[in-house]
Amino acid sequence: MKVFINKRIPNIGLEILNQNNIEIIFPKNENQSQEEWLEYCKKADVIFNVGKNKFDRQFFENCPNVKAISLFSVGFDHVDIQEATKRKIPVGNTPEVLSRATSDVAFLLMQMVSRKASYNIDKVKSGNWKDFDALEKLGQELYGKTLGVFGLGRIGFEMAEKCKKAFDMNIIYHNRNQNSEAEKELEAQYVSFDELIKKSDVISIHANFTADHSGLFNHSVFEKMKENAIFINTARGGFQNEKDLYNALNSGKIWGAGLDVTNPEPVDYNNPLLELPNVCVFPHIGSATIEARNGMARLAAENVLAFVNGEGMPNCANPEVYDKVE
């Protein structure tokens, strides 16, 4: 079988594939146009995908040769899972190995925003470090505050655990289902979405993104949040209405925001959010550690290897493709 890898990946993934004599197709140019990427896909049996290429119905119609997709990511919102499942195409992903790294970034953003770090870094770099001013751009402490987690899964649990241990924060959360482990180990309390946004001093998003979540955090939500609230998003940029977020931040309705994700990505350098002193934006670096990326490459390669060997992918976003028809 032929496996198309559209961008460079850590060597550990390539070694797994090469050791098993799997034929790999590499593009001549990593920055392919949509048309070039599609032509490569038409030549492959399996797609080892790095990045946000869309796998929708049109893709599957154009590439009937594709039998499996292995994502170099935990998120799969860029894949039409229903269409893939209907066509019996397994979609692999890479859960767990990036949970710590991504929660580290959420934790970092929270602290940077609470102490207005971006503003102060820019002040030093621009030569505006002036005499001591006891009231200039004061930060806020996080000890004993309330962390609200939207989507308390693997990454959300790691974030909550850090906040509990470091700052003795109270943990509340909103999920589709209650998390008994978090309730036992972190004394987390399940609340409604409305309670989450009203009671949280910090709101951190860690849910899987679906179309129903588009623009969920909008004007009406920001209006209900505390004025000292910090908004953290390391999940997907589609969760926030960025115009409404800008207005809430610029007007002082909420304290600040830390974003590792924007909509679209990359963010436009003219985006007014980047000019605000109470905002910190990272270029989607949640999983950008050597350890996490190696783990992702290993899991994605193991998904490919399992499929090639006629086995079920060990990490599959649509395991129902393996259900036997009665």
Please, are residues 300 and 12 in contact by the beta-carbon 8 Å criterion?
Answer: no
Average pLDDT over the chain reads 96
Annotation marks residue 236 as catalytic = yes
Tokens, residue 206: 């860690």
pLDDT of residue 158: 98
pLDDT surpassing 60 at residue 177 = yes
Q: What is the C-alpha to C-alpha distance for residues 79 and 76, in angstroms, rounded to an integer?
A: 6
**Which percentage of the chain shows pLDDT scores above 70?**
99
Annotation marks residue 35 as catalytic = no
How would residue 324 be classed by pLDDT, with cut points 50, 70 and 90? Answer: low
pLDDT per residue as tens digits for the range 195-248? 999 999 999 999 999 989 999 999 999 999 999 999 999 999 999 999 999 999
pLDDT per residue as tens digits for the range 10-22? 999 999 999 999 9
Nearest to 70 by CA among 309, 321, 307: 307
Q: What is the mean pLDDT of residues 55-82?
A: 97
Annotation marks residue 154 as catalytic = no
pLDDT per residue as tens digits for the range 148-161? 999 999 999 999 99
Segment among 73-77, 109-113, 164-168, 188-192 with least mean pLDDT: 73-77
Q: Active-site residue among 236, 242, 293, 302?
A: 236
Q: Active-site residue among 265, 275, 311, 320?
A: 265
pLDDT surpassing 70 at residue 325 = no
CB atoms closer than 10 angstroms to residue 118: 20
In this structure, is the dihedral angle defined by the CA atoms of residues 265, 266, 272 and 277, taken in order, positive or negative?
positive
pLDDT per residue as tens digits for the range 247-256? 999 999 999 9
Complete domains list, the chain, with CATH: 2-97+290-322 (3.40.50.720), 99-281 (3.40.50.720)
Q: Active-site residue among 154, 174, 213, 284?
A: 284
Q: Dihedral of the CA atoms 20, 25, 26, 31 (nearest 10)?
A: -130
Tokens, residue 146: 């309330």
pLDDT surpassing 50 at residue 291 = yes
pLDDT of residue 326: 43
Matching residue, tokens 């987390």: 188
